[in-house]
A and B are shown apart, each in its own frame.
Chain A
Amino acid sequence: MKKPIHHKDAWLLVDCLREPDRALRLNDDDWNALISMARAEVLIGTLAHRLKDKKLPKDIELNVKDALVKAEYKMRTAMWEVDCARRALASYDGPVVLMKGSAYGAMAIEASKGRSIGDLDIMVSEGGLKQVEELLIQAGWEWVKEDEYDDAYYRDHMHELPPLIHKDRDRMIDVHHTILPKTARPNPDAKAMLADAIQLEDGHYVFMPEDMICHCAAHMMADGDLAGGLRNLWDMHCLLTEFSTAAGDFWLRLKKRAEHHQLWDAVHLSARHANALYGTKIPTDWMLWTFFDDWIQKRLLARNSIGQQTRKFLRFGFYVRSHWLRMPPLMLAKHLFIKWKKGQKK
């Protein structure tokens, strides 16, 4: 009966994603730890892509292949869903912007390789929401939340409609009109994001590179509790690495655009953490490190060698922070009170 926890954080996973050749020197226990951590962080498909051409132990090679098959299947399903949405919204005049995984997949960029894609996220103008909602419902999507409070909460305060689910395919779509809750402190310029979006061959739009990075950063640093943070940070690493090769003053343009969206803090934070964990090349004057960065990094790496989450109190701290960032204090109090009362009734 062994005691299996020999890694107390996820550095092993991060190291192997950054430098896949490191995996070639692992012992059996490390392999078990690596695979468990990667699955728990939903990075197994990404890791499999990084390892697929290496000389691997037989048992690992089979698991890598399984992960690639599953990732390909997930991508196929996600792209099918993208196409279903395109057909449902064909008569809508405004741009329909694909967000996150669906966008990366439709563009077939590095970030999409092996990436798991869950729900379909799209963004349309706030004025177009009503028409888009109607068209989706005509095409078979239905409301998930029956609860009046939740429904009103989404419509009054959130950056998206309450989630819709397709009645036959059982797939969820999130329709956004901006990238952060209306109540969050940063107030990104959604109009500019839509106006500057780039059209793909199939008719869908994606954000221009700077906006795509701003959204990725906002999603990770300004709107969540950093659950799944290593995955989001890998997206960030891929986006920065791929887009920064484009034109000379990319970093300057990115900074200006982020400031315009009031997201410079989030972009800067994500970029330096991507640099610290994944070795992303960023300008030297972006590499500042504060006391708080240590805690963010500890939170990102809170995973042990059997795939369990660690650092319960730190995670709770970031959970509280995520609500704090999402809404003003009084509103937060009211929201939590109503949620608590509903919890009591159940």
Chain B
Amino acid sequence: MHEIRITIGHASFRICSAWPKVIEQLETYYAAYPKPQIVDFTVRLEAISLLRRYIRPSVMIDGDFMLPEAAPLPLEQALLGAEMGMNLQMALGWYRQLILHASSAEKDGRALIMTGESGSGKSTLSALLGNRGWRFMGDEFAFIDLDSGFAVPYPRLISLKNQAIAAMEQECPNARFGPLLKDTPKGDIRHMVPPIDAIRKMDHSAKPAMLLFPRFGFDAEIYDILPSEAFMRLTHASTNFVALGEVGFNTLTRFVCEVPAYGINYQSGDEAEDMINKLWDKL
């Protein structure tokens, strides 16, 4: 067994694997991240059997918290396995902040939170803004501090899917990209190392200033979203809202009452960026 320890935002992981090359790969892409001593979670990328460690090697995602019937991945997709393993630990073991399944970016010390279904473009938009003057805070989870109400970053490797891959390759030709993972259970995936300032400032929280519900592929439109609707939608986008009980309820209520929410429909990244800047300037 080999291991690597990494810190992402406030969270830290120990990832163990029987394959040294899996750990080497993680070391390459997580090179700029701090390496902690004590970790919050352990993720294991194991062979489904001794035989399958060598022949048609297959990765089973395991760890402190796991789901009983998770499907194994081919070894080439180990980077995705690590990502899924880390997500699972956060979803099942993190209760110190309210978890929102959302991307986020910061400008002038204030945070923009974007949430929506898979395919809404929230990850891509956060990566795009991160290359256009904003600080990238995270493409998967945004955490809301239970006391201050601030958004806490989680700038892990950006997980680009399908069309977003080509779009970001063009947007950031000098960024570091992982191998192209074709036909994974989540479609084509390519990881991208976030901009260095996003990693350096991974523990800098920011006061949330705007909540967006982007939808990719519809005619351009901006519309208001009431706090009540934002609340209902975010309860579905949170993995620990129910478990946090009263504290979670108070945190989310405060969030939707203080932070204006909009829906935007868009056809391209440039179009979305214009709309976001227009809304941001009016704050």
The answer to whether the Cβ of A69 comes within 8 Å of any Cβ in the partner chain is yes
- The contact string, 1 if C-beta is below 8 Å from chain A, for chain B 186-205, is 00000000000000000000
B residues 16-69 near A (Cβ < 8 Å) are 16, 20, 23-24, 27, 36-40, 42, 44, 46, 62-65
Smallest CB–CB gap between B264 and chain A, Å? 34
Q: Is the pair B245, A73 in contact by a Cβ cutoff of 8 Å?
A: yes
- The contact string, 1 if C-beta is below 8 Å from chain B, for chain A 17-47, is 0000000000010011001100110000000
Query: Which of A35, A62, A76 makes the CB contact (< 8 A) with B245?
Result: A76
B residues 184-239 near A (Cβ < 8 Å) are none
Query: Which of B24, B39, B93 makes the CB contact (< 8 A) with A70?
Result: B93
Chain B residues whose CB sits within 8 angstroms of the CB of A307 once the complex forms: 42, 44, 63-64
Query: Which of A5, A65, A66 makes the CB contact (< 8 A) with B1?
Result: A5
The answer to whether the Cβ of B244 comes within 8 Å of any Cβ in the partner chain is yes
Query: Which of B3, B40, B62 makes the CB contact (< 8 A) with A4?
Result: B3
Chain B residues whose CB sits within 8 angstroms of the CB of A5 once the complex forms: 1
Chain A residues whose CB sits within 8 angstroms of the CB of B64 once the complex forms: 35-36, 39-40, 307
Smallest CB–CB gap between B99 and chain A, Å? 12
Smallest CB–CB gap between B215 and chain A, Å? 29
Known contacts A1-B4, A1-B20, A4-B1; A39 and B12 CB within 8 A of each other: no
Query: Which of B2, B14, B44, B242 makes the CB contact (< 8 A) with A73?
Result: B242
Chain A residues whose CB sits within 8 angstroms of the CB of B63 once the complex forms: 307
- The contact string, 1 if C-beta is below 8 Å from chain B, for chain A 56-98, is 0101101101100110110010000000000000000000000
Known contacts A2-B3, A308-B44, then 4 further A-B pairs from the complex at CB < 8 Å, ordered by chain A residue: A3-B1, A4-B14, A28-B37, A73-B242
Q: Identify the A interface with B (CB < 8 A).
A: 1-5, 28, 31-32, 35-36, 39-40, 57, 59-60, 62-63, 65-66, 69-70, 72-73, 76, 306-308
Q: Identify the B interface with A (CB < 8 A).
A: 1-4, 12, 14, 16, 20, 23-24, 27, 36-40, 42, 44, 46, 62-65, 93-96, 242-245
